[in-house]
Amino acid sequence: MIALTLAEIADAVGGALHLDGSDAAPETSVGGAVTTDSREVEPGGLFFAKRGEFDDGHRFAPAAVERGAALLVVEHALDLPVAQVVVADTVDALGALATEVVRRVRALGRMRVVGVTGSNGKTTTKNLLRTILEAEGPTVASRKSFNNEVGGPITMLEVTEETEFLVAEMGASGVGEIARLVRMARPDVGIVLKVGLAHAGEFGGIEQTVRAKSEMVTDLLPTDVAVLNADDPRVAPMAALTAARVVFFGLGDDADVRATDLVVHARGTEFTIAAGEASARVRFGVLGEHHVANALAASAAALQLGVSLDHIAAALETVTLAEHGRMEVLGGRDDITIINDAYNASPDSMAAALKTLAQVRRPEARTFAVLGEMSELGEFSGEEHDRIGLLAVRLGISQLVVVGQGARRLHISAINEGSWDGESAYVESADEAYDLVVSKVRPGDTVLVKSSNAAGLRFLAERLGEWFA
């Protein structure tokens, strides 16, 4: 974080500065890392004592002091020998500080901000943009999937006076949450990737999901740019909701930044990016045709920031993994491939992963799909698990292994569609799935492991990857 005095921080967050028992003064400057996790506190850093559903960050404030915190932001003063700012709500205070820090850095006239949202692909697109922009100048981007009311501002607080690009991933579980993050960061470029059923249960339906995702572009200024998915019928109409200049990406001829001549194989995807009169061939090492849309979105945003298409293509070719646990290729022994895509799952990403599995099948070899529950779908859960079961059969997946009660309906649907001779198997646990796969896989086979993070199947994928390494 940029250096601010204790008085400036208290003013920014609307809090009361308490210095009793500390050696600090209002003019004391601090500028270390900001965190809500006492285990991550660095000497000279700031610790926000956030209350959680099951715990209270104030309990861990002594540990934060022991690790060298220079300032605590708390909801009530603590008997600790360190400077403290007392606020009504530490999460609100975290957002207020991020807003002020981004405002100050932007006032220097150097930093530009990209916001990324969508039901799927946020983290991949953010990572691709970081790779592209890091070659152009100092870049800050969200760590892991830091995209909510806590992770978003913590990312923003990593900017310094030297930062040229901030890439902020923005997620939500309800209406108004993306708007809050947008007001903090004030993006120059806002990307909306896709609106699907991911978290639809939390939002209260697909219409509310659309409304929430559109918050990325509704407050953009005429001087800003909205980057929208031309292929998504829920995203493309957002062009009418923004005052910003609109740039479309997609596979169709009507997209401003589009992909042509796609070739999908087990080593990734090859395609040509076309933007106006310019074009560049990309050998993209990230597995799955669905990641091409993420690459196009990142490319469209980078072009608006002045990066040449040739530089964009060169950067994309250096990426071989979207993120740990996202279409991650493991294994290798006896030409057996394990695809770990169990970091998360929605109906759209599940369907895309199954299609990729069918596309990369080796001649004469078999495909295994080890699938767990897609969570947070609410009233759509049953019918969407049905749909994935039918899709697995229709794609000709050789062996379906369904794990856990939450996904059992997927197995029943596959049987009803024709997988009644053992092509679909149901097991209760990841251990049972492991034993089944190990006993059945033959040289040359490809195994996809896919589920929502809550199902825990990414650990199964890692275990299979180690066994077949």
- CA distances 351 to 196, 256, 374, Å, are 12, 26, 11
Q: Residue 351, CB half-sphere, CA atoms under 13 Å: how many?
A: 15
Alpha-carbon torsion angle 452, 457, 458, 463, nearest 10: -170
Phi, psi of 87 (to 5 degrees): -130, 170
Q: Are 124 and 108 in contact (CB under 8 A)?
A: no
Task: Tell me the chain's radius of gyration from C-alpha atoms.
Answer: 24
Q: Are 75 and 89 in contact (CB under 8 A)?
A: yes
Q: Are 196 and 119 in contact (CB under 8 A)?
A: yes
Q: For residue 397, which of 431, 430, 436, 371 has the smallest C-alpha distance?
A: 371
Q: Is 308 annotated as a binding-site member?
A: no
| Helix orientation angle between 381-394 and 408-417, rounded to the nearest 10 degrees | 40
Tell me which residue has tokens 């991650």: 328
Task: Give, as one character, the DSSP assignment of residue 362.
Answer: P
Q: Is 119 annotated as a binding-site member?
A: yes
Q: Is 139 annotated as a binding-site member?
A: no
Q: Is 155 annotated as a binding-site member?
A: no
Q: Are 123 and 326 in contact (CB under 8 A)?
A: yes
Q: Is 122 annotated as a binding-site member?
A: yes
Q: Is 331 annotated as a binding-site member?
A: no
Sheet holding 257-265, edge to edge: 139-141, 165-169, 112-117, 189-192, 225-229, 245-250, 257-265, 268-275, 278-284
C-alpha span between 155 and 89 (Å, rounded): 19
CB environment 334-363: b (16+ within 10 A), e (fewer) = eebbbbbbbbbbbbbbbbbbbbbbbebbee
Phi, psi of 71 (to 5 degrees): -150, 135
Query: Which token pair is 138?
Result: 């100092």
C-alpha span between 286 and 326 (Å, rounded): 9
Query: Which token pair is 250?
Result: 């997609």
Q: Is 127 annotated as a binding-site member?
A: no
Residues of each annotated binding site for ATP: 118-124
Residues of each annotated binding site: 118-124
